[in-house]
Amino acid sequence: MMMSELVNHQRVKTNGIWIHVAEQGTGPLVLLLHGFPEIWYSWRHQLNYLAQNGYHAVAPDLRGYGDSDSPLDPNSYTVQHIVGDLIGLLDHFGEQQAFVVGSDWGANIGWNLCLFRPDRVKGFVPPGVPYLPRSPTAKTVETIRKIYGDESHVCQFQEAGRAERAFARYDCLTVMKKFLLMTTDFLVAPPGVEIIDFLPTPSVLPSWITEEELMVFADKFQESGFTGPLNYYRAMDLNWELLAPWQGSKIIVPTKYIAGDKDIGFEEGGMKDFVESDVFKSIVPNLETVILDGHHFIHQEKAQQVSDEILCFIRKLSLD
């Protein structure tokens, strides 16, 4: 895609920290939330496309990432903290409501933004990650360990410094290739093997990303490191405790869930059955579901299709 205009960059003070945002276009606000291990740049295609079609597209580096502040304490990475950052961004831009799009961890944050402050979200598009109801009895990491074992990425990422030391055995470009281009069914390593060692490094890049684009991610992680991003995983059990007041709550915001049919655990892990079930529709009653041919980072892999789905959805909501 040709860039219709330059991307503008600024740092915004919100919730006690500085958040870097990339923005393009004017019009209704669309907030684009990246996942792990990404930065604002993962939304480069959608920023340009939404700007061309009359929207103000804003993609922050979430706290801990890129050019945003990165608090040291893992307890500063709860969903309450991140959602608080986003509310501050909406206030900064003078918007009562925004359309929100979120992938991977960005989807999880977006679901919680919809849960805490549905009055601030006009519509939500979460590629890849459905809304999973909170267990009333078992903490998140405990549940994942019970299902997938100690060598799942979530369990390996809990120990401070462990994943950072493992990642440091590779250059950042290789780390990006291993994660952003992964095609594995589950992020579970064999016993005694680190996730980063388990993930293969593709020898040939897929057509949807270039070495130069991967270097944008790699250069930024070389500067900022991985501890901030990994702290999201280290706050998962604290999130479980803090989310207790919303036990049993539904997501009432209009939502368009987009899944890649080759995403991690989609077929074999039971995700397909869940997202097509009455349970998912009951907890997200205002729901559309779209399944595309693709993997986990589908907003980059199938950028035009995902952009079209986003635009179609928010245009429809704009008419309501």
- Among 20, 81, 296, 299, the active-site one is 296
Q: Are 69 and 88 in contact (CB under 8 A)?
A: no
Task: Pull the structure tokens for residue 109.
Answer: 């944050």
What phi, psi does 188 have (nearest 5°)? Answer: -135, 120
Task: Pull the structure tokens for residue 151.
Answer: 């060598």
- Among 34, 104, 232, 299, the active-site one is 104
Task: Pull the structure tokens for residue 42.
Answer: 């993962």
Is 296 a catalytic site residue? yes
What phi, psi does 23 have (nearest 5°)? Answer: -140, 155
Alpha carbon distances (Å) from 137 to 133, 149, 290? 12, 19, 32
Query: Is the sign of the CA dihedral 318, 289, 205, 198 positive or negative?
Result: positive
Is 299 a catalytic site residue? no
Kindly write down the DSSP assignment for every residue of 71-115, as one continuous string. Answer: -S-GGG-SHHHHHHHHHHHHHHTT-S-EEEEE-THHHHHHHHHHH
Is 61 a catalytic site residue? no
Give the separation between CA 209 and CA 220, rounded to whole angstroms. 17
Residues 6+ apart with CB under 8 A from 16: none
Give the separation between CA 128 and CA 104, rounded to whole angstroms. 6
- Among 233, 257, 295, 299, the active-site one is 233
Cα 104–108–113 angle (5° rounding)? 135
Q: DSSP alpha helices (H): ranges in the chain?
A: 44-52, 79-92, 105-116, 140-148, 153-156, 162-167, 172-180, 195-198, 211-224, 227-234, 236-242, 271-275, 278-283, 298-301, 303-319
Question: Catalytic positions, please?
Answer: 104, 233, 296
